[in-house]
Amino acid sequence: MAIGRSSLPLSSQQKKTVLASFLGWTLDAFDFFLLTFLLTDIAKEFSVGVPDVSEALFFTLATRFIGAFIFGRLADRFGRKPILMLNIVSYSVLGALAAFSPNLITFLILRAIFGIAMGGEWGLGSSLAMESIPPNARGMVSGLLQAGYPAGYLLAAIVYGLLYGQSIAGHEVGWRAMFLLSFLPALVVLFIRSHVPESPAFTEAKDQVKPGLLETLERHWRVALYAVVLMMFFNFFSHGTQDLYPTFLKKQHGFDAHTVSWITIVANLGAISGGLLFGALSERIGRVNAITIACLIALPTLSLWAYSTTPVMLAIGAFVMQISVQGAWGVIPVHLNELSPGSVRATLPGFIYQAGNLAASYGGPYQAKIAEAPGNSYGYALALFAGVVAVCIIVVIRFSPERRGQVMTVLE
């Protein structure tokens, strides 16, 4: 979607800042979701089961809060822009190193370290963008930024469908070659270095004394704790509907790579649409109401999404489900940044987000075990997670503070 004058009142520099933040999150997600298409192939090569390889999803999610804290603190001290560049290079290199894993243990360790690097990007990119734009543009930009996540999934699906199993220069493209594509995000750093300015809020306050993280948390611990619980449910919602969906299509329905790819593409087109729609809607009806409506859409969609039998019906179900999931998520970047004190805005939203990821990190392996238990199925495991978590989010979000449109500084 173009960032044009008619939809967003942004200057040229602000548009470049939003674009850089969007690309950073998109390619971060691309690196993560490559794994979801390759679980069965890695399991076959290492002679283990899919639940064993899905532990990589757990380790990646479980370590992200470490990166959110480390890179966030660096950004609150040295600036959003330079640390965002460092972060993107880090996750690019670590993502690509997985291609050289000689065994499952090494692969799991590399994905855990990759998770640390991945954990930093969201907080850095969202704080840089939200501090650089007018308040009335935050809802739309929030939806656009969060749409970067399904856009990365979409890109992974396209690349998987086009390249996996193909012969290039006499060599078949396997799972190891796919991970080498993780080097691509490093190219975004060149764009950021040349075209993206530092956050105005950070620049104005960089020489002033700001309260530390512990002092800030003592003053705002109730909001921080609440937000971690909220993000736990949100991460169950997204990863519970996305990470095992390609495996569900391959193992339960026996679809080939091409069919899995296009169904996943359709799902992520729905996700991008949902993020943009509900991000913009949140400027009119509020963050809490927009999230509530998005989650309600998931409930009547469960049967179509998890229990359809044809590719077309599954694709329709996936499209609507991801409108719901990423519609709710589209409000989160602006909502967490508005809830967070400015002195720790590069640290706290990302840390809260990734702490919620840590709490939800075993969802993937747990879903896989439920799915492969006697009498169960991947469809059952997916529907169980999505339905329960959607209801939990609807209940919990109604207790959230609403701070739509507040002025953002770094001295709060």
Q: Are 389 and 189 in contact (CB under 8 A)?
A: no
Number of Cβ within a 10 Å radius of residue 41: 18
* Gap between the Cα atoms of 368 and 160, Å rounded: 22
Give me the pLDDT at residue 288, please.
93
Task: Please tell me whether the overall predicted TM-score, pTM, comes out greater than 0.85 for this model.
Answer: no
Q: What does each C-alpha distance from 187 to 23, 95, 119, 164, 359 come to in angstroms? A: 10, 14, 19, 23, 32
Q: How much is the mean pLDDT over the chain?
A: 85
* Gap between the Cα atoms of 388 and 391, Å rounded: 5
Q: How do 167-168 and 171-172 pair as beta strands?
A: antiparallel
Top-ranked range on mean pLDDT: pick from 224-228, 276-280, 335-339: 276-280
Q: What does each C-alpha distance from 338 to 14, 213, 273, 398, 405 come to in angstroms? A: 19, 17, 23, 16, 8
Q: Alpha carbon 377 to chain centroid distance? A: 26
* Gap between the Cα atoms of 38 and 261, Å rounded: 12
DSSP states of 362-378: THHHHHHHHHHSTT--H
First to last CA, the chain: 33
Angle between helices 55-78 and 213-242 (to 10 degrees): 150
pLDDT digits (tens, 9 = 90+) for 140-172: 888 888 888 888 988 988 898 889 888 887 788
Q: How many CA atoms lie within 13 A of 278 on its CB side?
A: 33
Residues 6+ apart with CB under 8 A from 373: none
* Phi (first) and psi of residue 292, to 5 degrees: -60, -50
* Gap between the Cα atoms of 330 and 278, Å rounded: 6
Read off the DSSP letter of residue 323: H
pLDDT digits (tens, 9 = 90+) for 208-242: 655 566 776 677 778 788 888 999 999 899 988 98
- Tokens 């040349």 appear where? 194
